[in-house]
Amino acid sequence: MLGDDFLRSSAQKSIIMNDSIEQLAKLFSRFPGIGERQSKRFVYFLLRQPESYIRELLASMTELRKRIRICESCFRHFESTKDSLCDICRNPKTDSSLLMVVEKDADFESIRRSGTYKGKYFILGGLVPIVEKSTPNNVRIEELKDTIESRAKDTILKEVIIALALTPHADHTDTYLKSELDKLKETYGFKISSLGRGLSTGTELEYSDNDTIKNAFKNRQ
Amino acid sequence: MLGDDFLRSSAQKSIIMNDSIEQLAKLFSRFPGIGERQSKRFVYFLLRQPESYIRELLASMTELRKRIRICESCFRHFESTKDSLCDICRNPKTDSSLLMVVEKDADFESIRRSGTYKGKYFILGGLVPIVEKSTPNNVRIEELKDTIESRAKDTILKEVIIALALTPHADHTDTYLKSELDKLKETYGFKISSLGRGLSTGTELEYSDNDTIKNAFKNRQ
Amino acid sequence: MLGDDFLRSSAQKSIIMNDSIEQLAKLFSRFPGIGERQSKRFVYFLLRQPESYIRELLASMTELRKRIRICESCFRHFESTKDSLCDICRNPKTDSSLLMVVEKDADFESIRRSGTYKGKYFILGGLVPIVEKSTPNNVRIEELKDTIESRAKDTILKEVIIALALTPHADHTDTYLKSELDKLKETYGFKISSLGRGLSTGTELEYSDNDTIKNAFKNRQ
Amino acid sequence: MLGDDFLRSSAQKSIIMNDSIEQLAKLFSRFPGIGERQSKRFVYFLLRQPESYIRELLASMTELRKRIRICESCFRHFESTKDSLCDICRNPKTDSSLLMVVEKDADFESIRRSGTYKGKYFILGGLVPIVEKSTPNNVRIEELKDTIESRAKDTILKEVIIALALTPHADHTDTYLKSELDKLKETYGFKISSLGRGLSTGTELEYSDNDTIKNAFKNRQ
């Protein structure tokens, strides 16, 4: 009869021996919103797929980096093999008197999809941590200042719109950006605004927090 | 050996014989958010409680109707045995130049809890259906007009604030109220406002619908 | 201008003055699965209902206690004004060689609904706490022993089926009952069984815990 | 002023121009449990990662296919560059009188993790559809028959354990396998069993369906 020791050591061995699966699962587990279990399912999914799908996936991931570049002006990802500016920055019809600062590409896409805004964008690249004192590397604060300065010199920059989420982290970044841009604002005379606050689609007063009600009341119209 | 027939008829009988339980469960199933299963659990819960709890519950439900009355001025529920006006309507410090129209008592409580608003209230009692042409009975539109008219004559009424949810049904009611109150507004010269719209606490742009983004952009400041 | 002090003291006063609402809400918040917010919604719901509904609800709750009694033999709730035994205990077709011990009425109902079992029942009234040493008052262990003893003397009692949930608390109670009934089992020669363990409807192996897999393997057939 | 036409055509163009992003997102959206939105987030996540992570991910995905092979005997994925049999099939201590049939690798992993079973496995590769008449290609029914036959000839095969989920689809497959293996069972005299059914961890009787209660009662012990 086989004892527990056999089972345990054998189970352990099996984990060691399948480490291609474990290794790839570990890499997948860094994907946003993916836990350990689902990352393992991804690996088994890939093992079941036809060779053609895997080839396409590998090619697509390899190509992504080659074809997608970051716009030198607004820092969003766009596809091009020759241009250094994205289609919005290049387009002469884009209203360059407006500059909207967003956190990331996905936020840009939401705003673009809404069809409301016709000006330029700037992808900040991250949020400013509440506790740390130093500015983090991934937030493009210096690049933002440079962009605003050169824009203000060249054209009539009327307004910088800070378009961030309504979370403590984003709220802190909003305040930080305003204080950082204050001097430029004085020098060049543009306006700094933030997205309006109040009731969002589906909000019911009965279940609203105090801040939402305060903002909705203050910004009534 | 007992057949299925016995089981079925016996099961049926047992349901018929316990109809005090079934009957109370049915009444509980009308409570907001309560399904058939939970209403049954309520009944068994009551059966397990000490006599004192049941007595207190029955007394409290009986008293509720006697003690709670509807304020003649703002139509919210309040507790009193003698007054016809609630504590807010009676309070001379309440700012009577402002009137906030809310759908129901729970909405009033949320706004009250936020500590933002110092004026009077009016409980509308419901929302106006989108499809029906006639005004529903449970919406106090005539009472609202009367209240505004007598308020406007007596004091300086500066503003009526429509404070409803941001749902299609509530949005329709907002529009309806504005058109119904338009004439009074012209006559007495007060302002009509609605709660501000935009980002509410926790909103992330990446997951926002077009309307929220449009409102947040339009109401930027 | 009114200060925050006015708002706060006024808000406080309003809570004190509406304590019929608060008091009933507090009683409702003891209902199973009901939090503070929903209990308040129950009160406002009652305030909006027609008088007839409230009368029916009060009558139904008052009647419940009068009409529903506890069966002297199996301790389940049943409706009767004269009988001391429930319909199942009275029914001569019930197989009295089998006794199924369940925790509560709702469990009895589930088993009854499944139409699988034709024997007698016993409602234990609760589960035995894992930490406390003394038997809790609400578990009818002595009554169970008496019932089994008198049943075993009168008729041929073949099997006692312990039908509890598969949770640590219920599992502990299962073990406790078996040790408490051991002596009676030796004396009268009946069998003690527990409900089978393994895969339940919807179980997927990929997401199963070790215990479920162990039980399913051990009880394969 | 820019019209809606500009916005729309520009938005459209932007989607066309970023089709490396769209294309990869589409491939990711085939991953199990991943919708359109999350697949897009995966792409932006990859764009933000350091080159080293991407290289590692690509290498790991490329290696996976090379290093992971399917065991010739049990059809599970295992890592090896030389062996054609997995570590369990090769291990002389594995109890080859038992054969457990599971749907997929993830189910095998759950059972392995539970440490209950010491015999051989067989990965079926899928479930048999309820409606279609023909056996699907991805279910290794012929391979299963061959494995059983050669095993039964070489060694004393005592039992085939069908270890599938408890869903309609899996239940149908269980029945199908039993009928397909019936002849071999008669010829070689082994037993066919299925995983036990009843209460699984966490099951409460109050919320159980009739089938779970029936199985738990039938399989009491």
Tell whether B17 lies on the interface with C, counting CB pairs under 8 A. Answer: yes
d(CA B146, CA B140): 10
Pair of tokens at residue C153: 């003397």
Contact across the interface for D203 and C205, Cβ inside 8 Å = no
Tell whether A14 lies on the interface with B, counting CB pairs under 8 A. Answer: no
User: Between residues 88 and 117 of chain C, which touch chain D (CB distance below 8 Å)?
Assistant: 102-104, 106-107, 109-111, 113-117
In tens digits, what is the pLDDT along chain D, a chain of 221 residues? 334 444 444 444 444 457 889 999 999 999 999 998 889 889 999 998 988 999 999 999 999 988 899 999 999 999 888 889 999 999 999 999 999 999 999 899 999 999 999 999 999 999 998 876 666 667 999 999 999 999 888 888 999 999 999 999 999 999 999 999 999 999 999 999 999 999 999 999 988 999 999 999 999 99
Residues near D162 by beta carbon (within 8 Å), at least 6 away in sequence: D101, D174, D177, D178, D192, D193, D194, D195
Q: Which residue has the tokens 């009818």?
A: C140
Average pLDDT over residues C184-198: 96
Per-residue pLDDT at A80: 87
Question: Residue A191: its chain B contacts at CB < 8 A?
Answer: none
Task: Provide CATH 1.10.8.420 ranges for chain B.
Answer: 4-68
> C4: pLDDT confidence band, cut at 50, 70 and 90?
very low
Per-residue pLDDT at A10: 45
Q: Which runs of consecutive H residues, i.e. helices, occur in C81-209?
A: 87-90, 105-114, 141-154, 168-188
Q: Give the gap in angstroms from C-alpha C95 to the nearest C-alpha of chain D.
A: 15
Pair of tokens at residue D61: 């995905």
Tell whether B55 lies on the interface with C, counting CB pairs under 8 A. Answer: no
pLDDT tens for B70-119 read 999 999 999 888 889 999 999 999 999 999 999 999 899 999 999 999 99
Per-residue pLDDT at A5: 46
Locate the chain A residue with the closest alpha carbon to D83: A17
Other CB atoms within a 10 A radius of the CB of residue D94 amount to 18
Given a contact cutoff of 8 angstroms between Cβ atoms, the answer to whether D160 and D190 are in contact is yes
Q: Which residue in the set C53, C58, C67 is minimally distant from B58, CB to CB?
A: C58
Amino acid letter, residue B38 = Q
CATH architecture, domain C94-218: 3-Layer(aba) Sandwich (3.40)
Average pLDDT over residues C168-188: 95
Amino acid letter, residue C34 = I
DSSP A60-76: HHHHHHHHEEE-TTT--
Question: Residue C53: its chain B contacts at CB < 8 A?
Answer: 27, 30
Tell whether B200 lies on the interface with A, counting CB pairs under 8 A. Answer: yes
Q: Give the gap in angstroms from C-alpha D198 to the nearest C-alpha of chain C.
A: 4
d(CA C165, CA C213): 17
Average pLDDT over residues C174-196: 96
> Measuring CA to CA, which residue among A54, A168, C204, C47 is closest to residue D63?
A54
> Which superfamily does B4-68 belong to?
RecR Domain 1 (1.10.8.420)
Locate the chain B residue with the closest alpha carbon to A198: B197
> A89: pLDDT confidence band, cut at 50, 70 and 90?
very high
Contact across the interface for C64 and B87, Cβ inside 8 Å = no
Contact across the interface for C61 and B67, Cβ inside 8 Å = no
Percent of chain A, pLDDT > 70?
A: 89
> Measuring CA to CA, which residue among C60, C65, C95, C62 is closest to residue C77?
C65
Question: Residue A17: its chain D contacts at CB < 8 A?
Answer: 78-80, 87
Which of the 8 DSSP states describes residue D82?
S
Provide φ and ψ at A131, rounded to 5°: -85, -45
Per-residue pLDDT at B19: 83
Burial B52-73 (b: 16+ CB within 10 A, else e): eebebbeebbeebeebbbbbeb
Q: Is the pLDDT of residue A4 over 50?
A: no
> C135: pLDDT confidence band, cut at 50, 70 and 90?
low
Given a contact cutoff of 8 angstroms between Cβ atoms, the answer to whether A177 and A162 are in contact is yes
Amino acid letter, residue D210 = N
Per-residue pLDDT at A124: 96
| Mean pLDDT rounded to a whole number for chain A | 88
Tell whether A119 lies on the interface with B, counting CB pairs under 8 A. Answer: no
Q: Which residue in the set B114, B198, B205 is minimally distant from A210, CB to CB?
A: B114
> A205: pLDDT confidence band, cut at 50, 70 and 90?
very high
Contact across the interface for C31 and B45, Cβ inside 8 Å = yes
Amino acid letter, residue A5 = D
A59-62 contact pairs (CB < 8 A, 24+) = A60/D20, A60/D23, A60/D24, A60/D27, A61/D24, A61/D46, A61/D54, A61/D57, A61/D58, A62/D58
Residues near D62 by beta carbon (within 8 Å), at least 6 away in sequence: A58
Locate the chain D residue with the closest alpha carbon to A18: D79
Tell whether A142 lies on the interface with D, counting CB pairs under 8 A. Answer: no
Q: Give the gap in angstroms from C-alpha A215 to the nearest C-alpha of chain B.
A: 7
Locate the chain C residue with the closest alpha carbon to B104: C44
d(CA B27, CA C46): 11
Residue that wins the pLDDT comparison between B41 and B164:
B164
Given a contact cutoff of 8 angstroms between Cβ atoms, the answer to whether C170 and C137 are in contact is no
Contact across the interface for D14 and A113, Cβ inside 8 Å = no
Given a contact cutoff of 8 angstroms between Cβ atoms, the answer to whether A203 and B166 are in contact is yes
Largest interatomic CA distance in chain B: 86
Per-residue pLDDT at C19: 83
Q: Is the pLDDT of residue A16 over 90?
A: no
Q: A192 forms bridges with which residues in the sheet?
A: A160
Q: Give the gap in angstroms from C-alpha D57 to the nearest C-alpha of chain C.
A: 25
Which of the 8 DSSP states describes residue D116?
-
Class for the domain spanning B85-196+209-218: alpha beta
> C90: pLDDT confidence band, cut at 50, 70 and 90?
very high
> A8: pLDDT confidence band, cut at 50, 70 and 90?
very low
Tell whether C165 lies on the interface with D, counting CB pairs under 8 A. Answer: yes
Q: What's the Cα-to-Cα distance from A121 to each of A98, A181, D8, D45, rounded to whole Å?
A: 8, 16, 17, 20
Tell whether D175 lies on the interface with A, counting CB pairs under 8 A. Answer: no
CA A143 to the chain's CA centroid: 16
Helix or strand or coil: residue B121?
A: strand
d(CA A219, CA A203): 15
Per-residue pLDDT at B202: 93
Per-residue pLDDT at C48: 85
Residue that wins the pLDDT comparison between B41 and B192:
B192
Contact across the interface for A68 and D30, Cβ inside 8 Å = no
Per-residue pLDDT at B135: 60
Given a contact cutoff of 8 angstroms between Cβ atoms, the answer to whether C43 and C25 are in contact is yes
Chain A interface, mutation test: which of B116, B193, B197, most A Cβ atoms within 10 Å? Answer: B197
Residue that wins the pLDDT comparison between C136 and B12:
C136
Contact across the interface for C78 and B24, Cβ inside 8 Å = no
Tell whether D166 lies on the interface with C, counting CB pairs under 8 A. Answer: yes
Per-residue pLDDT at A167: 95
> C136: pLDDT confidence band, cut at 50, 70 and 90?
low
> Measuring CA to CA, which residue among A172, A213, A217 is closest to residue A194?
A172
Given a contact cutoff of 8 angstroms between Cβ atoms, the answer to whether A174 and A141 are in contact is no
Per-residue pLDDT at D132: 66
Contact across the interface for D79 and A54, Cβ inside 8 Å = no
Average pLDDT over residues A138-151: 92
Per-residue pLDDT at B59: 93
Question: Residue B46: its chain C contacts at CB < 8 A?
Answer: 61, 64
B71-74 contact pairs (CB < 8 A, 24+) = B73/B120, B73/B147, B74/B120, B74/B121, B74/B122, B74/B123, B74/B147
Locate the chain A residue with the closest alpha carbon to D51: A65
